[in-house]
Structure 1
Amino acid sequence: MSHEFDYDLVIIGAGVGGHGAALHAVSCGLKTAIIEAEDMGGTCVNRGCIPSKALLAASGRVRELRNAHHLKAFGIQVQQVSFERESIAAHANNLVAKIRDDLTNSLKRLKVETIRGRGRIAGPQKVTVTSSTGEKTITAKDIILSPGSVPFVPPGIEIDNKTVFTSDDGVRLESLPNWIAIIGSGYIGLEFADIYTALGSEVTMIEALDQLMPGFDPDIAKQAQRVLIAPRDIETKVSTLAKRVIPGSPVVIELADAKTKEVVDVLEVDACLVATGRIPATQNLGLEAVSVELDRRGFIPVNDRLEVLVDGQPVPHLWAIGDATGKMMLAHAASAQGIIAVENICGRSRIVDYRSIPAAAFTHPEVSFVGLTEPAAQELAKAEGFKVATTRSYFKGNSKAIAEGETDGIAKVIYREDTGEVLGVHILGLHASDLIQEAANAIAERRSIKDLAFTVHTHPTLSEVLDEAYKRAVVAH
């Protein structure tokens, strides 16, 4: 520990990224403080991953128990299924409280000092904390910025947090509208469409781009529409802009052609969820005190070591992690960045391998991916002069999936034709979020599909879906 400073490390923001960084810093012997103005655990714990997964778990049970045809195949009959919205909401709230308490207690147990208030850079290696009791300045040898993100609300959309709301309010499940419009068809929109349709709501999904699920691999998006959207009470509108949204009873939505911006229809619905992505919470961080400028989208510029940059050069002893960097807006990516930033602070040089960080949508069935989509892989191949190949396998041929009666699904592996290096894996199907980790590890190690085809997978398990894909690739070549 340096005696010139109050702390070895000060972290601004106690979300998953800041928490992970703090725990690792303590294990490395650093005297650490973490500054948080709002709820410990940030978006993930309080308004994101945790409560939404609780809602998906409960609503998924309702969907399964109401699927009489599916249960009949097992010889099971359920006469009537009912639920209490308030109890499902309470399940999510209770889980949030437990995880938040666990996170807070882990910091206390390891003697990380928690400072309540709003932190901002006051100069090199200085942070000012403003709270209800006043203002104080502390010093630190190193500072990590982890301010997170907030939902993006496009112009023309008015939020009242009751009839028109973002995921921040949606996870509280304060009502179950008969008809809800969801603006956006990314992870958040898909998961909420899953929740609402399972609990009996009609959904209209509005997407400004010309295809649903634009961030996903095209093959997976196509399959997901067949499995997650078409059979359910979901109407879809693509190339459509929610030009104006007016809260009330009903909610009035002016729909415009995404290209011409001309109003083409008016919807009147019971509620509207705005799921148009997230933007960095990077205002009022005091970055001007160290001459740092945000990029045009509001993200903090960093390199792969997570050092904050000015004109491409690192600012000494200043680091940034998580959503605010704009690299991958995922809780586990933030946590990985936090650990790597601390490693670099301790002089053990490391960089983040973003290609090997997986992601998932916890729909029923789930969608997951790691690495490149096929279009992105083709772009890389063109630039570097190699050929891309793909292989697919299907859940309908998997013994465990057949036993579960859950045979909708596909695994797609994208790889280099010459070396066999795996570039991307995309899965839609039962437990896809768990299956993707094997592929993420393979990409992290830059494994070849030629080697993976000879690894042994437990039978009968869903992991054999990937085993089948690997083997098909080797047979094809």
Structure 2
Amino acid sequence: MAAKSFDMIVIGAGPGGYVAAIRGAQLGLSVAVVEREHMGGICLNWGCIPTKALLRSAEVFHLMHRAGEFGLKAENISYDLDAVVKRSRGVSKQLNSGVGHLLKKNKVTTIMGVATLAGKGKVSVKTDKGTEELTAKAIVLATGARARELPGLEADGKRVWTYKHALVPPHMPKKLLVIGSGAIGIEFASFYHTLGAETTVVEVMDRILPVEDAEISAFAKKSFKKQGMTIMEKATVKQLDRAKDKVTAHIEIGGKTEKHDFDTVISAVGIVGNVENLGLESLGVKVDRTHVVVDEYCRTGVDGLYAIGDLAGAPWLAHKASHEGVMVAELVAGGHPHPVRPEAIAGCTYCHPQVASVGLTEAKAKEQSYEVRVGRFPFIGNGKAIALGESEGLVKTVFDAKTGELLGAHMIGAEVTELIQGYVVGRTLETTEEDLMNTVFPHPTLSEMMHESVLDAYDRVIHI
């Protein structure tokens, strides 16, 4: 059978792949996308989207318990875990079919199957019906990543879970251990803790949420502890002894090993790129610690072969993947797009309280020899936050003292995952403190704290 020919073939239909395919088609390229499992990838089916649906249920549950504070009455509050999970799966299903519809609307050829690189510009796809051969001048690898499994701590789906099991739980944890305090670990800890699980978080680094600004990490730790979570930093889970109804964790902390019993363990210790069985070696593609090595335009060094998203390394964020997908499609179509700058990408964690950040932390800015001016503004000084009953939080801004450039912004508190975008736009437009100070923020809004934090950096703060 003759090989089918396209301008661009995308391997993987996650937030990187399907967006690359759609943008390529919009630019007049003939595009095929190959997906082995789910349209929308991990993000949409087993990641960003379903976790937000679960966390929303937990947030509403938490608010129902606070009804009295708002002059409301809610009695005998309870939840149905199966119904909570069912809602979250429904949200994913709706968006999954939406991706299929968008690809069809944009006349992208979709092939369900497992793809391998059969040579330069060649892709071989194993489908239910046999093998299809495809050729293209450009191939985009968007195969994503999966949960890292540490020896001895592997998931079994019964008592020891990865994020996938945690999204469709076989039981409600009573005593939960979460290994790893990045975004995934903290979000699940927050969800299950809110629903009543006695939760312990173990982090190998010296603080939870280790990629965040140290001040934000400290604020989060204090808040989680106040909620009743146990936080163990500079701690390592050495082994898990599994029994039918419990898991005994050997946790090394402060030079001693402690044993603790749990009925459920969630392992969230990072991800590894899906680089296997793609045929990368035969083409001479460089792989570094399970991630494909690329330049700022996601080029692999092999002519016409690109890698985007989680496969191409940190930051492991869906919005980075999508943006890279658009950039590569525009390159392939002969355009001149800007490269995606990792430091311009916001990170959001949807725990309670929420955490969001963009750019350099205060410590990183100093490490890079910047002389900095730092501003802070607490939620307690903001009228809207108090009216919402959300007075716990902090907005922090970091500026270059010499030029007034906004180097970074870091926030914790209600809705900060929505607020952060103001600073992201500011950084993209290369804003200075003067522009931000001269911007009129609407009142009463949470966004006013962003203004006040800037004012504070320059000793002009009004409301504290």
Structure 1 residue 5: deviation in Å?
7.0
Structure 1 residue 421: deviation in Å?
0.4
Alpha-carbon distance between aligned partners in 2 of 1:197 and 1:161, rounded to the nearest angstrom? 19
Deviates more, 1:351-360 or 1:53-62: 351-360
Alpha-carbon distance between aligned partners in 2 of 1:24 and 1:286, rounded to the nearest angstrom? 26
Partner of 2:311: 324
Q: Does 1:373 align with 2:361?
A: yes
Q: Which residue, out of 349, 374, 378, partners 2:336? A: 349
Q: Which residue, out of 101, 109, 123, partners 1:105? A: 101
TM-score (structure 1 length as normaliser): 0.93
Partner of 1:335: 322
Alpha-carbon distance between aligned partners in 2 of 1:424 and 1:210, rounded to the nearest angstrom? 22
Alpha-carbon distance between aligned partners in 1 of 2:398 and 2:154, rounded to the nearest angstrom? 42
CA contact (8 A) 2:176 2:263 kept: yes
User: Per the alignment, in what secondary structure is the counterpart of residue 307 of structure 1?
Assistant: coil
Alpha-carbon distance between aligned partners in 2 of 1:42 and 1:245, rounded to the nearest angstrom? 30
TM-score (structure 2 length as normaliser): 0.95
**Which amino acid is 2:267 matched to?**
V
CA contact (8 A) 1:44 1:50 kept: yes
Q: Does 1:20 align with 2:4?
A: no
CA contact (8 A) 1:160 1:247 kept: no
Partner of 1:236: 231
**Sequence identity (%):** 33
Partner of 1:282: 275
Count, aligned residues: 457
CA contact (8 A) 2:239 2:249 kept: yes
Q: Does 1:446 align with 2:430?
A: yes
Alpha-carbon distance between aligned partners in 2 of 1:165 and 1:247, rounded to the nearest angstrom? 12
CA contact (8 A) 2:309 2:321 kept: yes
Q: Does 1:75 align with 2:71?
A: yes
- Consecutive unaligned residues of structure 2, counting only runs of 5 or more, are none
- Cα 1:208/1:475, change in 2 over 3 Å: closer
Alpha-carbon distance between aligned partners in 2 of 1:78 and 1:298, rounded to the nearest angstrom? 50
Structure 1 residue 476: deviation in Å?
5.6
Q: Does 1:460 align with 2:418?
A: no
Partner of 1:433: 417
Structure 1 residue 264: deviation in Å?
0.9
Alpha-carbon distance between aligned partners in 2 of 1:443 and 1:146, rounded to the nearest angstrom? 27
Q: Does 1:315 align with 2:302?
A: yes
Q: Which residue, out of 232, 248, 265, partners 1:252? A: 248
Partner of 1:267: 260
Q: Does 1:360 align with 2:348?
A: yes
CA contact (8 A) 1:241 1:257 kept: yes
**Which amino acid is 1:435 matched to?**
L
**Which amino acid is 2:295 matched to?**
N
- Consecutive unaligned residues of structure 1, counting only runs of 5 or more, are 309-313
Partner of 1:311: none
Alpha-carbon distance between aligned partners in 2 of 1:51 and 1:73, rounded to the nearest angstrom? 30
Partner of 1:10: 9
Q: Does 1:292 align with 2:285?
A: yes
Structure 1 residue 257: deviation in Å?
4.0
User: Per the alignment, in what secondary structure is the counterpart of residue 33 of structure 1?
Assistant: strand
Q: Does 1:408 align with 2:407?
A: no
**Which amino acid is 2:170 matched to?**
E
Over the aligned positions, Cα root-mean-square deviation in angstroms equals 1.6
Q: Does 1:30 align with 2:46?
A: no
**Which amino acid is 2:365 matched to?**
A
Alpha-carbon distance between aligned partners in 2 of 1:467 and 1:345, rounded to the nearest angstrom? 41
